[in-house]
Chain A
Amino acid sequence: MIFEAVIFWTAAAIAVLSTLLAITRSNAVHALLYLIVSFLAVAVMFFMLGAPLAAALEVIIYAGAIVVLFVFVVMMFNLQAERPRPNPWTSLRTWAGPTALSAILLAEIVSVLARGGRHGLGPVPVPPRDVGLSLFSTYVLGVELAAMLLLAAVVGAYHLGSRKTASHHRLFEEPPQ
């Protein structure tokens, strides 16, 4: 039982530390690297809390899809062109912090799985089957609403991201001469 507590609190410490580093970096790419580590640490906490589906989705959607969106936007901004600096992707010092924290998380998850994958600090772990049954019976209206919200987000992002229209909002209009 002490083992589970150590794993959980180490993940919690990594989550807080990497979040603190993410909001204080001046370089956007460095901040996004620490943000990924923060999400991975929270995923380990989910796994230890007995929520494996939430842990998997945290890795896939938060650390995967959402941070990749941020990275794409940073690439579109082309911040490097404004302030010439050595390429951060090639310097080892950039990678050292996030890599060390991620290695600790990997060691944690490997040690948990090596002990038979017994996880769950709650009364019982909640398997994905129960989540799916609840999602599509009790909360089916919420699923429909989430689908409509995502459709609206897709249409809105496409409209706002297109370069064709001159102005999307009064804020962006030229002042009258």
Chain B
Amino acid sequence: MNVVPYEAVLVVAGVLFVLGLAGLLARRNLLFVLVSLEIMVNAAGLAFVAAGSRWGQPDGQVVFLFILAVAAAEVSVGLALLLQIRRHFKTLDSNAAGTMKG
């Protein structure tokens, strides 16, 4: 870890996470919102793997596996919801689905 310090890898993970957050806040297309969520989840996984590599323990990769399962579940349900919203509102704009009743 002398070549690439652990803190530097964390900085890369933070940059990726912030990029995903910026996309999440800036984009109104719900498909891009889901893409940005995937980027953020991936950045969190990078931080875990970096920590596991820093101490030479397998726990970081194990947590990455769990993150992988959660991301797969989240994206499948999210895309199914996206299809429903598209079918109902005929658009993917998040402003269209922003009005509440009651």
Residue ranges of A at the interface with B (Cβ–Cβ < 8 Å): 1-2, 4-5, 8-9, 12, 15-16, 19-20, 22-24, 28, 31-32, 35, 38-39, 42, 45-46, 48-51, 53-54, 57-58, 61-62, 65-66, 69-70, 73-74, 76-77, 120-124, 126, 130-131, 133-135, 138-139, 142, 146, 149-150, 152-154, 156-157, 159-161, 163, 168-172, 175
Contact = CB atoms under 8 A, between A and B. Distances in A.
A12 B2 CA distance: 17
Interface string B67-78: 011111111110
Contact of A16 (B16, B52, B74): B16
Interface residues of B, number: 63
Contacts of A163: 87
Contacts of A69: 75-76, 79
Nearest to B54: A122
A48 B92 CA distance: 39
Contacts, number: 191
Contacts of A175: 101
Contact of A54 (B12, B31, B64, B81): B64
Contacts of A48: 4
Given A76-B83, A150-B69, A150-B73, A131 B49 contact: no
Contacts of B88: 171-172
A42 B46 contact: yes
B38 A35 contact: yes
Given A15-B12, A50-B53, A160-B83, A23 B32 contact: yes
A161 B9 CA distance: 39
A43 B42 CA distance: 10
Interface in B12-48: 12, 15-16, 19-20, 22-23, 26-27, 29, 31-32, 34-36, 38-39, 42, 45-46
Secondary structure at chain B's binding surface: helix, strand, loop or mixed? helix
Nearest to A39: B42
Given A19-B19, A28-B32, A133-B58, A171 B68 contact: no
Contact of B12 (A5, A16, A57, A61): A16
Contacts of A130: 58
Nearest to B70: A149
Contact of B80 (A1, A131, A157): A157
Contact of B39 (A23, A51, A139, A170): A23
List the 6 closest A-B pairs by CB distance, nearest first: A23-B23, A153-B73, A160-B80, A122-B53, A146-B69, A49-B53
A164 to B, nearest CB: 12
